[in-house]
Structure 1
Amino acid sequence: MFIKQVYQYQHDFWRYLIGVIAVVAGIIIGQIPLTIAIFLKYKGEIFGMEETEMMQGFDSNYFLFLMLLTFVGGLIALFLIVKYLHQQPIKALTTSRPKIDWSRFWFAFGLVSIFIVVNTIGDYYSNPQDYEWNFRITPFLILCAVGIVLVPLQTSFEEYFFRGYLMQGIGVMAGNKWAPLILTSVIFGGLHFFNPEVTKLGNTIMIYYIGTGFLLGIMALMDEGIELSLGFHAANNLLTALIVTADWTAFQTESIFKDVSEPSAGWDVLIPVLVIYPIYLFIMAKKYKWTNWKEKLFGKVEPPAYPNVTEEN
């Protein structure tokens, strides 16, 4: 139902094409403050610089704030396109339920938060040499303010765009569920190719990014909405930003700890995808009584017998 309900609204191919262009334009507009700040800071010296080098010239909280504004621009553009071009309520972009189930959001948020905290504490006591105490009260409180407000907007943009907008759009065009699951997951992971983590760890880290895309896509299809993926993604990015930072990550923050170990893309990449993610899905499947996996992940998407809205000729 999450994909099929789009047949009630304006779902022509050209609308999705314009929508994607508009979202990209929103991202570019949202990036203007960051671009101006970088230009004023480095002027002509910007060419050839890596992203991590640019970050180091700024206060980390200020840079994070400017970077996250990029996604705010994209989210605003997406919501405007959905409302006015597709004439679709945001609720229908979020869920197939009568109303958005925020308890699902908070369940996923809490589950991921507990795992991150427990895993970090365990690793800290097992490998204390890999961590430095990075806590400073004032910068950390500023980070909390920036993170709590803007990180959920960043993750919400990615979820609404990939697991909502593109999942629904590709689903009605392809007439099935497996095509949007695969395409949105690969595109989502592929866009992380330019993250500094890839430069440091190599292309193997892409397994993690694409695998995360599949996890979030499976959540959306099995649960008939993106509330769980919204909570999962928000907790993952926010808790990571607050607890641990490193010199080679996309989020360099005033976190509690700094990871000073030499990173490697081995089992650290495979274990989350092959072990931890299936555990997440198992817990959610049990709690929300997911059934009929084959149909929900690979079934057809067909228009209802009497759709409320038809495509324009």
Structure 2
Amino acid sequence: MSDPRKDLARARVVVVKIGSKTLAGSDRIYETLAQDLKVARDRGVRVVIVSSGAIALGVKKLGYRGRPKEMARLQAAAAAGQSLLMRAYEEAFSAHGLVVAQVLLSHADLADRTRGNNARAALSALLDQGAIPILNENDSVAVDEIKFGDNDQLSSMVTPLVDATALLLLSDVDGLLDAKGRRVRAVKDIATEAVPLVQSSKSDVGTGGMGSKVEAARRATLAGAHVVIADARVPGIVGRVLAGEDVGTVFVPPERRLSAKKHWIAFTLRPRGDLVLDAGCVTAVRDRGKSVLTIGILGVRGAFNPGDSVRLLDAAGTELGRGLARLGTPDCARLAHRDEESTVAVHRDEMVIW
């Protein structure tokens, strides 16, 4: 295996995610980030920023005492704060000759293949012109995103969308810390090396703690990208990461990566139902890479149509993976565990097994 730090030094498309808590911590952070990204751009690196911060700025602008819990007020804060956020980026980046462009996305934009491809084309056009797209969730209308999502996960979805080979998750910590508070330099197996170290973290400003960042790292590494969690307050941090210096925690991608379509199935689509599989079908799917046949289905849950995402469960309810249904709920239920008329319910080319 090659040195992951040297692989980072070869990255030519990079996604940089910065959170609300970090942006709120210093008025200088926009200037610091602009200086870093100017150096990266001069080296020929194409950069996409995923930025939180609109709600936090809107909270102050509207005079709320703290981050609201009511959905309507969260949406109002997002609407009021987005212009302030972009103004801060525009002023800091234009001073260094950098052009920024606002791109607001909702989950539905990426879940729909046509809209997702349109977003890919628009981002590619901006990068071709030397601009730095600044992405944020469209929180003023995307109810589910405010309540359940965060920009760590958005950054992991955007990484394969722009064919990035590196994702930088900038925060207010040195990286992933071990039980003694020491920085973990590198993680090769997220499940065994990172997950046990994650502790829940809550902030009145943002939504994504270390657990969210580790999950984003898992998703992005499965797309083939190296991921680094690092402290945004360190001078020149982006340049140091991309120069291959030993800063932050680097997450190494596995040898086998998911294709863009399978990554989309696994992490962007929201399952509309479940297929409960018998033991024989579980073995065939998990160990031999076979498709899910209707004869192997024990039960069907939810209301889904052909093309929708479904979870694949064993009889105990453990999730094995996800895939695109070839049949809707009525046909899956009618043909479940029947030998006659057995057909493919989920094809192996449209399925991801964990």
Answer with 1 or 2: which has the greater Rg: 2
Query: Normalising by structure 1, what TM-score?
Result: 0.30
* Structure showing the higher strand proportion among its residues: 2
* Structure showing the higher helix proportion among its residues: 1
Higher relative contact order (CA 8 A, sep 6+): 1
Query: Normalising by structure 2, what TM-score?
Result: 0.28
